[in-house]
């Protein structure tokens, strides 16, 4: 019996319960996967009192950084990017933290026949941006990070080991023209102001990590201009597939599972507007 949940706040919009349940059913496993609203500052108390029956937890904002302060064992990758989205309980009833966000970016691009090669522009500087930077590291020739503040520059720099890294001003127009891949990791509405700076004929791929709203203004604008896009539903699906494998200890055939999860996800999101 798989007993798991996604934790975060706000959490009511999360498609993780739907996608995880589809995967466990397809694997022939009994499961109970729910969503639980856990606000910033509440995670430690929640984990100390949740009991020992849980297979694991998926974490979304604002908990991906908070969890690192009290997890017993943090994977090297999660420690390097200062972000974890996956928790499993060990026999001592303490918690092991890891991340599937990095592999989620890689698999989502691969599903579209793409990788992070060439010049990459990442919009934003938070936990998801660091996961994106890490996914591009060693694949991209250059990673440019567009931020409104350099307060978290050191954390981003620590996430890169091989590729050239630079920080650029918010709304640096020329990068929308030249980047092979653009990854937006900012919250809802933040990228809207950048739409007017998009090129008339986009050449690169625009990858937006959000799936609410569906589609985002930036993703729709890039697509309407004829540019190729990758959406946040793909990212959610591919990081979830890796979590399903961790929680269930079962192999998951990605090439068949991802399209199944996407069909159900699209149905839940409803028609594009």
What is the pLDDT tens value at each position of the chain, 273 positions in all? 999 999 999 999 999 999 999 999 999 999 999 999 999 999 999 999 999 999 999 999 999 999 998 877 999 999 999 999 999 988 777 899 999 999 999 999 999 999 999 999 999 999 999 999 999 999 999 999 999 888 889 999 999 999 999 999 998 889 999 999 999 999 999 999 999 999 999 999 999 999 999 999 999 999 999 999 999 999 999 999 999 999 999 999 999 999 999 999 999 998 654
State the pLDDT at residue 272.
52
Task: Tell me the CATH number for domain 2-99+234-269.
Answer: 3.40.50.10860
Residue 66, SS3? Answer: helix
E strands, 154-239, are 164-168, 181-184, 205-208, 228-230
State the pLDDT at residue 90.
83
State the pLDDT at residue 171.
84
DSSP 8-state symbol, 94 = -
Q: What are phi and psi of 89, to 5 degrees?
A: -90, 130
Contact status, residue 149 vs residue 104, Cβ threshold 8 Å: no
Write b or e for each residue in 192-204: b if 16 or more Cβ atoms lie within 10 A of its Cβ, otherwise e: eebeeebeeebeb
State the pLDDT at residue 27.
98
Residue 109, number of CB atoms within 10 A of its CB: 24
DSSP 8-state symbol, 252 = -
Write b or e for each residue in 31-64: b if 16 or more Cβ atoms lie within 10 A of its Cβ, otherwise e: bbbebeebeeeebeeebeebeeebbbbbbbbbbb
Let me know if 26 is exposed, middle or buried by CB neighbors in 10 A (0-12, 13-18, 19+): middle
Instruction: Kindly list the domain boundaries of the chain, sorted by start residue.
Output: 2-99+234-269, 102-230
Peptide bond into 215 cis (omega under 30): yes
Q: Return the half-sphere exposure (C-beta side, CA atoms, 13 A cut-off) of residue 121.
A: 22
Tokens 């597939």 locate to 241
As a whole number of angstroms, the distance between CA 136 and CA 133 comes to 5
State the pLDDT at residue 34.
98
CATH topology of domain 102-230: Rossmann fold (3.40.50)
State the pLDDT at residue 249.
95
């Amino acid at each position: 019996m798989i007993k798991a949940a996604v934790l975060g706040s706000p959490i009511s919009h999360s498609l993780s319960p739907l996608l995880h349940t589809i995967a466990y059913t397809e694997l022939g496993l009994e499961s109970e996967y729910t969503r639980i609203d856990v606000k910033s500052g509440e995670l430690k108390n929640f984990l100390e009192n949740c009991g020992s029956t849980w297979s694991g937890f998926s974490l979304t904002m604002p908990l991906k950084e908070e969890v690192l302060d009290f997890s017993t064992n943090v994977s090297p990758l999660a420690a390097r990017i200062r972000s974890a989205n996956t928790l499993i309980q060990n026999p001592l009833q303490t918690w092991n933290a890891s991340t599937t966000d990095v592999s989620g970016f890689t698999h989502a691009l691969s599903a579209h026949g793409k990788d992070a090669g060439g010049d990459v522009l990442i919009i934003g500087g938070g936990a998801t941006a660091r996961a994106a930077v890490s996914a591009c590291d060693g694949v991209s020739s250059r990673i440019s990070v567009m931020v409104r503040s350099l307060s978290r520059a050191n954390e981003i720099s620590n996430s890169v080991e091989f590729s050239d890294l630079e920080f650029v001003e918010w709304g640096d127009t020329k990068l929308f023209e030249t980047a092979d891949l653009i990854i937006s990791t900012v919250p809802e509405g933040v990228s809207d102001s950048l739409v007017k700076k998009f090129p008339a004929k986009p050449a690169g791929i625009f990858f937006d990590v959000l799936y609410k709203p569906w589609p985002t203004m930036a993703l729709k604008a890039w697509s309407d201009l004829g540019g190729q896009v990758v959406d946040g539903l793909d990212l959610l699906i591919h990081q979830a597939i890796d979590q399903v494998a961790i929680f269930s200890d079962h192999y998951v055939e990605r090439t068949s599972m991802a399209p199944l999860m996407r069909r159900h996800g699209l149905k839940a999101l409803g028609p594009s507007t």
